[in-house]
Amino acid sequence: MSTPRPEITDDAPLRDITPSDALELYIKDKRADGASPATIRSHRSRLSKFIDWFQDETDYTHLNELDGFDIKLWKFHRFGEENDAAGDKDWNTEYSVFTVKTQLDTLRVFLKFCAELQAVPLALPYRVKSPSKGDDKQRNNEIDDERCRHILERLDRYHYASFEHALIVTLWYPILRVGAAHSLDLDDFHPDEQYLRLRHRPPKTTLKKKSKSERKVAIREKTANIIADYINEHRHDVTDDAGREPLFTTENGRASITTLRNTIYSITQPCFYTGECPHDRKIADCQAEANKNDASKCPTSESTHAIRRGSITWHLREDVSKEVISDRADVSVRVIDSNYNQLSETERMELRRDHLPGDL
């Protein structure tokens, strides 16, 4: 356990400390407090961008030269984008609110540490303003592929073939709605042929567009293996009220849609896959972390729809045609364009380029 730090007052003289030296002290302090190697790596990576900006874009030598205006300049430097030949910048909507918030929250924690070192004014950390989920008007709550990759890596390593693992790969890669995942039975999973069969079976397991949503969805080999291992190792061998064998189960039968949603809220909490809280909460005392049914109370947990939205965007970035995505996700190309396609203008241009005819 680290030694308690002395109280710092507003009239304490500021020390001359470079950002690089402060970062090394910060990392040592995190290690002393028991932070995991993954947490150390992520903090160093995020803060290195701030230090690069400090060294390359300012005339400062020491952190005590920073003020609130500089924090605004850094934020725009990090998350802005060029919009014309003159080099002006606009806010870059390619960044999800989660990415922006995580970067800024880490910077705030770092500057609080620096304030305790008397390296910056006490008020400076509070100049770092993070967006809330409600500020994300452009992206409308989406799990980006980087965040999904971190979640999957955590599940692969520590919770392989668990209920949570099987559920997220079933939602992400086949781009299923939560209601479709809820409707799946054991005999809808075809591991050898590597596909899922979706069927509309009212009254309790329905598809969004009823029989029009019925289809076969191909899955990749790794997804099929995870689902198969989940069935063999972790699925409860039960039937539902209709005597059917559900794919996703609890001890009492078919897992409800609410259970599926709460599961996604739980594993999309940053503390689940990073081991740290971006909201300065004590994880051990956090109600959202302690109870899966309260996971939605975490400000940066996300819904099953955010998984679907992010998967559609990821498939587009992987150069999967809109027509193929339309068939897999059971959504029209028009709806993809208007509601789901969160690509930047440049990315959209490059995708359209692929459909241009050859040179004459």
Tell me which residue has tokens 């068939």: 327
At residue 341 the predicted structure's pLDDT band, cuts being 50, 70 and 90, is low
The pLDDT of residue 3 is 42
What is 19-135's CATH number?
A: 1.10.150.130
Does pLDDT of 38 surpass 90?
A: no
The pLDDT of residue 320 is 87
Which of 279, 282, 4, 9 is closest to 123 using CA atoms? 9
Tell me which residue has tokens 């520590």: 158
If you average pLDDT over residues 190-218, what whole number do you get? 94
If you average pLDDT over residues 179-197, what whole number do you get? 97
Cis ω before 203 (30° cut-off from 0):
yes
At residue 85 the predicted structure's pLDDT band, cuts being 50, 70 and 90, is very low
The model's pTM is: 0.62
Indicate where the chain has its CATH 1.10.150.130 domain(s): 19-135
If you average pLDDT over residues 2-7, what whole number do you get? 44
Lowest mean pLDDT among 16-20, 41-45, 318-322, 344-348: 344-348
Q: Across 196-200, 333-337, 347-351, which has the greatest mean pLDDT?
A: 196-200
The pLDDT of residue 95 is 64
Does pLDDT of 358 surpass 60?
A: no
User: What percent of the chain is modeled with pLDDT above 70?
Assistant: 82
What is 145-304's CATH number?
A: 1.10.443.10
Sign of the dihedral defined by the CA atoms of residues 259, 260, 261, 265, in that order? positive
If you average pLDDT over residues 180-197, what whole number do you get? 97
User: Integer distance in angstroms from the first to the last C-alpha of the chain?
Assistant: 71
Lowest mean pLDDT among 63-72, 171-180, 245-254: 63-72
Tens of pLDDT, residues 291-305: 888 888 888 888 898
- The SS3 of residue 269 is coil
If you average pLDDT over residues 337-352, what whole number do you get? 61
Does pLDDT of 199 surpass 90?
A: yes
At residue 86 the predicted structure's pLDDT band, cuts being 50, 70 and 90, is very low
Does pLDDT of 75 surpass 70?
A: yes
Do 332 and 299 contact (CB within 8 A), yes or no?
Answer: no
d(CA 3, CA 1): 7
Indicate where the chain has its CATH 1.10.443.10 domain(s): 145-304
- The half-sphere exposure of 234 on its side-chain side, counting CA atoms within 13 A, is 15
Does pLDDT of 154 surpass 90?
A: yes
| Helices of type H across the chain | 19-32, 37-57, 68-79, 97-116, 145-158, 163-172, 178-183, 221-233, 257-267, 270-274, 287-290, 304-317, 322-329, 333-335, 345-353
If you average pLDDT over residues 63-69, what whole number do you get? 90
The pLDDT of residue 144 is 83
Helices 257-267 and 304-317 sit at what angle, rounded to 10 degrees?
60
Backbone angles phi, psi at 199, to 5 degrees: -130, 140
d(CA 107, CA 66): 13
Does pLDDT of 355 surpass 50?
A: no
